[in-house]
Amino acid sequence: MYYLYTTLTILVILFVLSCKNNVKTNDRETKFSTSIVKTSFGKLSNGQDAELYTLTNNNGMKVSITNYGGIIVSVWVPDKNGIMADVVLGYDNVSLYEKNNPYFGAIIGRYGNRIAKGKFSLDGKSYQLATNNAPNHLHGGNKGYDKVKWDVAVFDGEEPSLVLTYMSKDMEEGYPGNLSNKVTYTLTNDNAIKIDFEATTDAPTIVNMCNHSYFNLNGGKSDILKHSLQIFADKYCAVDKYLIPLDGLADVAGTPFDFRSFKNIGAQIDANDIQLINGLGYDHCWILNQNSADSMILAAVLQDKESGRTLTVETTEPGIQFYSGNFLDGTIIGKYGIKYNKRSGLCLETQHFPNSPNRPDYPTTVLQPGEEYRSSTVYKFGIIR
């Protein structure tokens, strides 16, 4: 009887342990199935609700995106000691983005960067866009893609993704054609944010979309001047005082624009160079050495030795706009009460070249009916090895 009782006891214990293990497995499955969490992000001025979607990968990296402007609100990644920090600039609620947003984290469109005097011609017809960055057009106009509410579809799974769609109507902000836009954010398990842009049109138009996140790999503890940057480009677009490209392409060799090897951003940013004077620092488009619209190429690598964090940028685009946060002036109080002074963050915007619609020598940004606009960029975070 004693042995029977002991045997039954052992079986009961094994059964309980098995149940507990099943509960833990189910807990893991439950956690996995909620790797995208939707929360309220406040109300817009028109009374509409804005939502915040937080994606989490298997490493605990978190990315929060709002359906207002498709804005990347936060990106939490570890440093060399495994300590997490938010490495993008932004606000705590949607109303602040709506009131005063220098494009923090936003989807930019229809046309990223500048178009001279807001004018271009297409198929013999002239178009006038808003000159919201006088005397030029900038980042889609007065109400670009950064200022609209996008529809959202959530795709949970091994690598969670968020699909945002928006229909830009014919002549919205002066652009011809009804343009159907889709942007997919995917958080991968190698700590990368993959962004896929797609669009189709029912009439000839121009398209040049990008993401406008401001990065600071030390989590905002200091400015970005001690970050080191490498850009895989031998040439860049020199610009006039209005930041419109001059004729031809400029060589980076022997100039403050040579980032072919790692260089501290602050090393030459205040040099007596007309291009730095025109841009108030770096605000230029680099022409990537390799380009393929069908495959990813390495565009740039950013490092912060203090935190040990790195950011690698890959893209299908021909250019990358490096903007060193020159117009931040300390008047913006961002997340966590941090004041955004000059050069508190930097942008690495993958795109076609500024003013391309008026430059037949540049790769075209024209999209025709029956064609599909596709562009992909990957922002991958890591640790200096």
Which of the residues are catalytic?
A: 212, 349
Nearest to 350 by CA among 218, 196, 242, 222: 196
CA 285 to chain centre: 16
Helix (H, G, I), strand (E, B), or coil: what is residue 24? helix
d(CA 106, CA 44): 16
Spatial CA neighbour of 227 closest among 308, 297, 283: 308
The pairing of beta strand 297-304 with beta strand 228-231:
antiparallel
d(CA 99, CA 45): 9
Q: Do 180 and 165 contact (CB within 8 A), yes or no?
A: yes
Closest among 317, 72, 123, 101 to 208, alpha carbons compared: 317
Which amino acid is residue 162, in one-letter code?
Answer: L
The residue to which tokens 């935190």 are assigned: 307
Q: Three-class SS string for 57-117?
A: CCCCCEEEEECECCCEEEEEEECCCCCEEECECCCCCHHHHHHCCCCCCCEECCECCEEHH
DSSP for 154-181? Answer: EE-SSS-EEEEEEEE-TTGGG--S-EEE
- Cα angle 150, 152, 156 (rounded to 5 degrees) comes to 150
Question: Do the beta carbons of residue 349 and residue 320 sit within 8 Å?
Answer: yes
